A and B are shown apart, each in its own frame.
With several copies, the nearest count.
Chain A
Amino acid sequence: MTPQQDAGIDEAPDYADFPGGAKAALEAVLMVLDEPAGEEELAAGLGLTVAAVGTLLAELQREYNGYTGKAPEMESASNTGIGSSPRGFELRNIAGGWRIYSRAEFADIVGKYVLEGQTARLTQAALETLAVIAYRQPVSRARVSAIRGVNVDSVVRTLAQRGLIEDAGTDPESGAILYRTTSYFLERMGISSVEELPQLSPHLPGLDGIAEFYDAGTM
């Protein structure tokens, strides 16, 4: 299938002339990204349709993960590396964008080379605060501390410094600063939106009314 030109793109290169075609061009762009890129962004940059980019991304993802089953009728025609073993890296869709990561299995080896930027494990207090903010966002510090039963000011400050949460404006009623999680948080969690967080309800047995109950209790 020939990639079609988007209306907004002045000219799409003819990828047939390139070694590896449009897929390799996409791969070349993925190599220079320093933050996750969305499909629209990649499509616009490459002069391809979003659908075509989506197909190519999925194909690259499968290739990097290694094909295990062989499809004999395709074998001779295909040049996508069928039957190959997994690569040392993977392509993942995280926080709404695609990006190349080293494969988790090699963490100990890769970690020796990229010590910088690796963050220490969060404390229990930080994790709990982060959890409350993630599930109740946007949320004020007062509410978070109501749920946790302790003052959370310094933990909130640290989480903001680590780029995991950010200011989300003020509460129209109380004027308190509200907090939400950042896309860096999603990235660190390896998910593309907060909707992918595990459901809270199974951990809250039979407490349907708790939100109102709780709200009535806040100042």
Chain B
Amino acid sequence: MAESKPGFEVRLANFTGPFDLLLGLIAKHQLDITEVAIATVTDEFIKYIRKLQQLGEEWALDEASEFLVIAATLLDLKAARLLPAGEVEDDEDIALLEARDLLFARLLQYKAFKQVAGILGETLHQEGRRFPRQVALEEHFAAMLPELVWKHTPQQFAALAEAALRPKTPEEPPRVALGHLHGSNVSVKEQARLLGLRLQQESPLTFRSLIADAGSTLVVVARFLALLELFRDRAVSFDQLSPLAELAIHWTAQGREWSAENLSEEYEEQL
């Protein structure tokens, strides 16, 4: 499908959520999740964003942030998958394995629904080719209908209109949708504030030590995203001697006014 053109052919706008894109990417690369090269996908994504910019289109913050979530999920999946199965040693490993299974299970479930959605769409389209006979009642029958009982005063009728026209209040109290999470609410902003405080006290710190007290995978992902945000704000810098080596984080915002409040709100909805 998307094979014909170069660049980031998976147009994010055409995907209906992270699972969708993830499936698309896995299918496109015909690869096991462990072999999906994040770097390749990232390159494609950046190319895609640049193309959007050249075309004069808005720098799509939504897409970019969604992509970050997906990249983090991919990394998470990949990290879990790379764990040697025989060497489960501590609770952290088990938690990672569980997270991996859950993600895979949900991905497969989503895939199944996507497939039946395709069948539904095709059926609806085919059925749309048949038109039901639903004609107005023949006049002589319409004339036989009992005379309408009408008891509404104009005021009552107006009240009815008011009620019908009033915007429907949301049935559930408005809140951030968290249904797609398998954990509690984790705020990237909060994690950023926490990391900021910690790094202001001691710098550099390794990524490992920054996530040592993370209660769940989700917190790890949130802290990872928070670091990316901090990096964008030039509040931190990264230092890694070699690939897969220990990642050191330096606090670089000394002397500058810095506040987690400036961080983008996007993640509040994403996570």
Interface pair B16/A115, CB less than 8 Å apart: no
Q: Known: A100-B132, A104-B129, A196-B154. Is A122-B179 also a contact (CB below 8 A)?
A: no
Q: Once the chains bind, are B111 and A219 in contact (CB under 8 Å)? A: no
Does the CB pair B144–A189 fall under 8 Å? no
Tell me which residues from 90 to 141 in chain A have a Cβ below 8 Å from any Cβ of chain B: 90, 92, 99-105, 107, 110-111, 114-115, 118-125, 127-132, 134-136, 140-141
B126 (CB) vs chain A CBs: closest residue: A104
Check: A188 CB closer than 8 A to any chain B CB: yes
Nearest-Cβ distance from residue B164 to partner chain A, whole angstroms? 4
> Given A100-B132, A145-B177, do A134 and B161 touch, yes or no (CB 8 Å)?
yes
Q: Chain B interface: which size bin? A: 35 or more
B180 within 8 Å of A (CB atoms): yes
Q: Are B148 and A188 in contact (CB under 8 A)?
A: yes
Question: Do the beta carbons of A131 and B116 come within 8 Å of each other?
Answer: yes
**Chain B residues within 8 Å of A99, by CB:** 132-133, 135
Determine how close the nearest CB of chain B comes to the CB of A103; give it in whole angstroms. Answer: 7
Min CB distance A105 to B, Å, is: 8
Instruction: Give B39 Cβ to nearest chain A Cβ, in Å.
Output: 24
| Interfacial chain B residues near A115, Cβ < 8 Å | 144-146
Q: Are B146 and A204 in contact (CB under 8 A)?
A: no
User: Do residues A203 and B132 form an inter-chain contact, with CB atoms below 8 A?
Assistant: no
Residues in B neighbouring A164, C-beta threshold 8 A? 148
Residues of A within 8 Å of B184, CB to CB, are 219
Residues of the B chain whose Cβ atoms lie less than 8 Å from the Cβ of A111: 131, 140-141, 144
Interface status of A210 (Cβ within 8 A of chain B) = yes
Stretch at the interface among A9-17, A18-26, A31-39, A75-83: A31-39
Question: A32 to B116, Cβ gap below 8 A?
Answer: no
Interface size on A, residues (CB 8 A): 82
A200 touches which one: B129, B136, B162, B168 (CB < 8 A)?
B162
Whether B145 pairs with A161 at a CB distance below 8 angstroms is yes
Contact B158 A200 (CB under 8 A): yes
Is the CB–CB distance between B164 and A101 below 8 Å?
Answer: no
Closest 5 CB pairs of A and B: A142-B179, A107-B129, A150-B17, A217-B182, A131-B161
Q: Is B142 on the interface with A (CB-CB < 8 A)?
A: yes
Partner of A101, one of B112, B138, B148: B138
Which of A122, A196, A213, A214 is within 8 Å of B124, CB to CB? A122
| Bound CA–CA A218/B126 (angstroms) | 20
Binds A, one of B27-35, B88-96, B100-108, B186-194: B100-108
Beta-carbon nearest neighbor of B107 in chain A: A149
Does A130 lie within 8 Å of B149, measured CB to CB? no
> What's the least CB distance linking A195 to chain B, in Å?
11
Those of A133-186 within 8 Å (CB) of chain B: 134-136, 140-151, 153-154, 157, 160-162, 164, 167, 175-177
Least distance between B158 CB and chain A CB atoms (Å)? 4
Question: Is B19 interfacial (CB 8 A cutoff)?
Answer: yes
In the complex, what residues of B have CB within 8 A of residue A129's CB?
A: 164
Nearest CB in chain A: distance from B85 CB, A = 18
